[in-house]
Structure 1
Amino acid sequence: MAKKVGEELELLSERIYQKLRHDIITGALRPEVPLTEAALSKRYGVSRTPIREACVRLQRERLLRAIPYKGYLVAPITLKDVQEIYHLRLILEPEAAEAAARDIDPADFARIEELVKIKYTPGDATSHIQFIRADTEFHLLIAKATNNERLYEIMKELLLERERLLYRILYKGEHGPLVSSEHKQLCEAIRARRPGKARELMIRHVMAARQRMMNTMFRMG
């Protein structure tokens, strides 16, 4: 009985985390909006415990900031954030792509081939989230090929942090086909076991993604 209750609480905590994260990424909860556990508890119709657990996880992902004695703040997205994220991606991901082309796990590559087929419909929030999750998983599977756990965890943090901006780009119907095309080229280089080509394509992809993000930031002001 106690085990069942524990499992139900764990499922509730995960559900609230996913809902809160979804609302932050899609902009339903906008940057720099203050939040309290009481307000979030009312919004999602649950007690404060799963709210608190979700907020702790979202702090680790840099989506929320704690305000002592007050609650939380939806973290703003700054130009400096974008520059730092993509600077690190340019350092880490070309090496990961090279490693993947040399020796990626066959099951992971099969999953990558599935992910590059996922599309989205402009204006459809659900398909946007699915596409973004596929994009993140695509890059994480490539990072996994390095067999470097620290690199993998750093990449996970960077990719999760930039999901909000990716959502805004996709919502306007921009760049999705470009992203898909770049992913397919990377997939082909990995399949062909061409480490140098995979590195080159990843550099191009990350640099293009950085420019897309920067352009979006400038338009947003």
Structure 2
Amino acid sequence: MPTSVKTRPGPERHASQDAAFRTRADEVYAQLKRDVAEFSLVPGDRFTESEISERLGVSRTPVRQALFRLQQEGYVEVLFRSGWRVLPFDFDQFEQLYDLRMVLETTAVHRLCDSGHRVDRSLLDSLARIWLVPAAQRSSDTVQVAQWDEEFHCALVAAAGNAEMARVHRDVTDRIRIIRRLDFTKQPRIDATYEEHAKILKAIRANRGEQAAMLLRAHIETSQAEVRKITLHQVHMARTAGRR
């Protein structure tokens, strides 16, 4: 009788499996990062790979890959024989990131007002349609305004035409998102953001670089001051408010 031969999976099958795991790991990574940014997971929270695996309906392999990636970025730490923990805020690092953000954005604003540089006016026009509106048309949705605020600052840098500067700025934006969202838990801060963004845009459109940079610097410094006030209690309160 002919002997049956077991064939091993070819390289194509291994490649497709690896790609599937990478895709699932990317999805888990993105979801866990959202959980931290939206305070579903707050600094100090502990969890296991099995808990995440069960909640997201995936195997532990992509969960582990995602967590190792988040560990490298400073969001979580692995605990000896007891799962994982969301790391406390590193406020010194946030201060440094805000300083870097200040340099990048004020430099971009000066370029936007310099006739010698190519500027993407379509990006500025799209910002005007959001921020230069009557008070009655303003959004009061804290999640929406937080997203628009982030896009406002990224668009200013992108419109200045330096792709490397925009790339670094996006990385900074990603790393401060977790605490930046706390700046939009109260209506007065939303109102102030509309007013301040409108003044910055008007100065840019009038090519008043020094004024635009001054307004932008004050705007970022106000947000930075709010960051300094953040306590773990406030984070828990923000999470509670977000679940209502």
CA offsets, 1:81-114, max 9 Å, x none?
3321222222222111111233430222123224
Residue 26 of structure 1 aligns to which amino acid in structure 2? E
Tell whether the 8 Å contact from 1:136 to 1:160 is kept in structure 2 after alignment.
no
Structure 1: 5+ residue runs without aligned partners? 122-126
Cross-structure match for 1:101: 113
CA contact (8 A) 1:32 1:73 kept: yes
Could you tell me the percent identity over the aligned residues? 23
Q: Distance in 2 between matches of 1:78 and 1:174?
A: 27
Q: Structure 1 residue 160 and structure 2 residue 138: aligned? A: no
Q: Deviations over 1:156-198 (max 9, x none)?
A: 2222222222322322445111112111111112222222222
1:111 match: 126
Partner SS, residue 89 of structure 2: coil
Q: How do residues 1-221 of structure 1 correspond to structure 2 at under 5 angstroms? A: 15-52=27-64, 54-55=66-67, 58-59=70-71, 62-65=74-77, 72-102=84-114, 103-116=118-131, 120-121=139-140, 127-217=141-231, 220=234
Alpha-carbon shift at residue 30 of structure 1 (Å) = 1.1
Deviations 1:28-81 (A, max 9, x none): 111132343322111212223443454455456543345688764323213313
Q: Which amino acid aligns with 1:211?
A: A
Taking a change above 3 Å as real, the CA distance of residues 168 and 192 of structure 1, as seen in their structure-2 partners, is: same
Contact 2:43 2:232 (C-alpha < 8 Å) held by counterparts: no
Aligned partners of 1:61 and 1:157 also within 8 Å: no
The count of corresponding residues between Structure 1 and Structure 2 is: 215
TM-score, normalised via structure 1 length? 0.76
Task: Report the equivalent of 1:124.
Answer: none
Say if 1:66 and 1:109 are closer, same or farther in 2 by CA, change over 3 A.
farther
Cα distance change on mapping 1:30 and 1:217 into 2, 3 Å: closer
Distance 1:188 1:63, change over 3 A: farther
Q: TM-score, normalised by structure 2?
A: 0.70
Q: What is the RMSD computed on CA atoms of the aligned residues?
A: 3.4
